[in-house]
Structure 1
C-alpha cells in the first residue's frame, strides 16, 4: 500500500514534466513605420505661379500655386527632346544621325525673326547632327530647330505633336496638352507637377542630361550659342530648361545634384508663371525663385537616425515567466527630412527554447521612399527553458 502511494506521488510530480512546453512568442516593440521627428521643412514657395519640388528616390517636398494647367513656353522643349531621344537614342558624346535644313525651313527664318522668336540661324542645306540640333533646342531654346527636329523625327510637325501628347499620357501627365513642339503657342499647357514627372524621365537619359548641363555649344551656321539657364553650375544645378512668353511668364524646370553624407541625390523642381514685363525680367524672377527652392530643399535633406544600436525591436515571451529582448545590433540611418515616414520591417524567425546572449536572430530593415533599404542584424538576449523546479511550482 505504501509503495502504491509512493508511486502515485512520483507520477503526480513527474506528470507535468512530460507535457511539452509551448514555444516562445515574439511581440514587436517597434512599429511598422515611424515619422522622422522635427518640424517638416517649409520651402520658400513663390508668391505667384506654380511650383513643385521632388527628390529622386524620396518623394515630394511639396507644391504651391494649385494644379490648373497653364502655358509653359519653351519648357515644352523638354518633351520635344525626350521624344526625339526616345526615338533616336544617343550615347554620351555621340553625334548621331544628321538632318539637313530644307530651303522652305531656311526661308521661314526672316518671318520667325520678325515675330521675335527665339531662334538659331540656319541656311538651306545646312547639316546638323542630332546632338547639335538638340543643343540648339535645349540651350538657346531655338523654336525653329524644334520644328525642324519634329518634322525630321515624325515626318511632320502635326505628327510629332501627336507623339508628344501620347508620351505625356503614357507618363501620367494628366493635365498636359501639347499643340506645338516649341511652346510658342499659349495653348500648350501643363502643370509644375507634370513637368517634374517629365524632367525626371528626361534626366535619366544620359545624352539629355549631358546636353542640358552645358553652358555653351558650337553649332553649324550659328557658331557658339549660350545656355539660357544661367543657374547651371550653381548650387549643384545641372539643367534643365527655361521658358518665357507674355502668356506663360517666366518658367524653369531645374535639376540639382547634391551630396548628403556619402550619397548623391537629384532634386528636381519646376517653377511656372513668374512675373515680368519681358523675357529678361521673367527669367530673373524665375531664377530667383528657383534658386531659393534649390537651396532650401538641399538644406532640408540630412542623414537621420531611425533606430539606435541596442534599441529593443521585439520582446520574447517564453513559458512560465521566461523571456528576453531582441535588439538592433547596429544603428540604422536614412536620408530624409523631418516629417517623412520611414518603413521598418523586422524579419525574425521562430524563436527556439534556448538562445545564447548576443546570438544573431533576424534582420531589421529601414526604407525611406524608394531608396535602397538599410539593414542591421538583430541580436537576442539570453533565453533558457524554465527550470524543473519552476515547472513543478507552476503546476502546484
Structure 2
C-alpha cells in the first residue's frame, strides 16, 4: 500500500544562537580649533577691546576760550579841534575820562589869584568844613588891620577888615574865593601855620604831593609874579579842590555877606551860566588874565564835570584881561560840549569770544546788552572780558562772565551769555574719533 511512515525527532536539533547587538551609531562630533588658533582669537578680541576703551581712559581736554574783541580801541571818528587861545596856555579835561586837549606848551607861568585855589585847598584839608558850616573863628589882629591902607594904595584886591574883627573860616574862604581878597589869604595863612612863610611851605609840599611838577608858590595870594604854575597843574588841583564839598559850595556862590566888608561879589562872571560851577579868576600885569573853571554838563543823560584852565590872556588891565579869558573859556566850553557824545562800542548780542570744546564741540560768548560810553572821537578805551573757565556742558543763553569797557577812569559793562549750548561728546563719538 502506501509507503512506510518515519518518525523524526526534532527535539535533538540545537537552537539557533541569538542575533548579535547592532553596533552603536557613529556620532559626528564638533571639531575643536587647535589651542593656538583659540589663543590668537582671544588676543585679537582683547586688543580690540583695549583699543576701544583707551580714549575713555583719558580725561576730555578743557574747552578753550579765544577773545574776538580787542583789549583796547579808540572811539571812531575825527578828533575834535578846539578853539584854543592864540597866546598863553590852556587845558581841558573831563573828570573820569581824561584830557581832551592842551595848548601853549608846559612852561611855568605866573598865575595871579588862581593861587588862592591852593590856599583854600590847604585850609580845608587841615580844617575840614561841612557844607553850610561856619567852622572855627579867627580874629583880625591890629597889625593885619593896619596893613589895609597900604595894600589898598598898591591896588590890591582886598576886603575891608578891622582890628578885633571876628570872622569864621567859611567867611574868610568866601572872601578869598569870591572877591579874591589878598589880605584875607594872608590872614588865613597866618592863622593856620603861624606865619605866611610857614604856610607857603605847606602849599609847596601839597603841590609836590599832587604831582604838580611845574608849580612853585611864593605867597598865598598870587600877587608875587614868582608864584608860577601850568595849566595842567591847575587842572589837577582844581579837580582835587572841587571834590571838597565845602569848596565846591563856596565857589558856586555869586555873592556872600561878610561882617565888615558887607556884601561881596564873585569875580567869576561865568558862574551860573552854561553849567559853570566855579572856580577862580586871576589877573595881574605879569600873569595877564587867568581862569580855572569847572562846568557840569549833561551828555546822554549822564552828568560830566569839565575842568579847565586858561592862563596868560593879554590885556591892559584887569577888566580887559578877564573879558578875554571869559571869552576864550566860553568858546572852549561850547566846543567841548559839542565834542562829547554817547558812543556804542559793543552791540547787544555781539560776539566777544569763541569757545572751542573737545572733538569739535563749541559755542560763543556774547554781550547780553549793548555797551555805551560817553567820550569823543579818538578817546582810548580799554576792554576787559572776564570769562571763567567754561565747563564741558553749558546751556544756551547761560550767563557766563562780564564785559567791562573803561573810557578814562569810568567803567561800564554788561553780562556775557553763551550762544548755543555745548554738550560733551558721547562715548561712541570719542571712540570713533580715536579711530
Instruction: Tell me the TM-score normalised to structure 1 length.
Output: 0.95
Corresponding residue for residue 120 of structure 1: 159
Instruction: List aligned pairs for 1:77-88, cutoff 5 A.
Output: 77-88=116-127
Instruction: List aligned pairs for 1:315-354, cutoff 5 A.
Output: 315-354=354-393
Corresponding residue for residue 15 of structure 2: none
Q: What is the SS of the residue equivalent to 2:205?
A: helix
Q: What is the SS of the residue equivalent to 1:123?
A: coil
- What's the CA shift for 1:70? 0.6
Select 2:183's aligned residue among 130, 139, 144.
144
Instruction: List aligned pairs for 1:211-250, cutoff 5 A.
Output: 211-250=250-289
- In 1, the alpha carbon distance for the partners of 2:299 and 2:369 equals 20
- In 2, the alpha carbon distance for the partners of 1:205 and 1:16 equals 67
- In 2, the alpha carbon distance for the partners of 1:378 and 1:366 equals 16
Corresponding residue for residue 280 of structure 1: 319
- In 2, the alpha carbon distance for the partners of 1:166 and 1:11 equals 78
- In 1, the alpha carbon distance for the partners of 2:158 and 2:260 equals 12
- What's the CA shift for 1:210? 0.7
Gaps in structure 1 of 5+ consecutive residues: none
- What's the CA shift for 1:22? 1.8
- In 2, the alpha carbon distance for the partners of 1:155 and 1:272 equals 31
- What's the CA shift for 1:211? 0.7
The ranges of structure 1 where at least 4 consecutive aligned residues each deviate by more than 6 angstroms after the TM superposition are none
Q: 1:7 to 1:63 in 2, by over 3 A?
A: same
The answer to whether residue 433 in structure 2 is matched with residue 394 in structure 1 is: yes
- What's the CA shift for 1:387? 4.5
- What's the CA shift for 1:13? 4.2
Corresponding residue for residue 338 of structure 2: 299
Q: 1:6 to 1:85 in 2, by over 3 A?
A: closer
Corresponding residue for residue 131 of structure 1: 170
Deviations 1:81-121 (A, max 9, x none): 11111221111111112222222222222211111111111
- What's the CA shift for 1:281? 0.7
CA contact (8 A) 2:348 2:370 kept: yes
Q: 1:14 to 1:243 in 2, by over 3 A?
A: same
CA contact (8 A) 1:355 1:380 kept: no
Instruction: List aligned pairs for 1:27-106, cutoff 5 A.
Output: 27-106=66-145
Corresponding residue for residue 376 of structure 1: 415
CA contact (8 A) 2:405 2:411 kept: no
- In 2, the alpha carbon distance for the partners of 1:150 and 1:10 equals 92
Corresponding residue for residue 164 of structure 1: 203
- In 1, the alpha carbon distance for the partners of 2:142 and 2:54 equals 104
The answer to whether residue 247 in structure 2 is matched with residue 188 in structure 1 is: no
How many residues in Structure 1 have an aligned counterpart in Structure 2?
Answer: 396
Instruction: List aligned pairs for 1:2-17, cutoff 5 A.
Output: 4=42, 5=44, 8-17=47-56
Gaps in structure 2 of 5+ consecutive residues: 1-36
Q: What is the SS of the residue equivalent to 1:111?
A: helix
- After superposing the two structures, state which structure 1 stretch, 137-146 or 316-325, moved more: 316-325
Instruction: List aligned pairs for 1:193-204, cutoff 5 A.
Output: 193-204=232-243
- What's the CA shift for 1:299? 2.2
Instruction: Tell me the TM-score normalised to structure 2 length.
Output: 0.87
CA contact (8 A) 2:395 2:418 kept: no
Q: What is the SS of the residue equivalent to 1:234?
A: coil
- What's the CA shift for 1:8? 4.5
Deviations 1:269-308 (A, max 9, x none): 1100001111111001100111122222222222221211
Deviations 1:107-147 (A, max 9, x none): 22221111111111122222211111111111111111111
CA contact (8 A) 1:361 1:380 kept: no
Q: What is the SS of the residue equivalent to 2:410?
A: coil
Corresponding residue for residue 352 of structure 2: 313
Deviations 1:295-336 (A, max 9, x none): 222222222212111111111112222222111111112222
Q: 1:15 to 1:249 in 2, by over 3 A?
A: same
- What's the CA shift for 1:391? 3.6
- RMSD over equivalenced CA pairs, Å: 1.8
Select 2:213's aligned residue among 156, 174, 180.
174
Q: 1:156 to 1:7 in 2, by over 3 A?
A: closer
Corresponding residue for residue 23 of structure 2: none
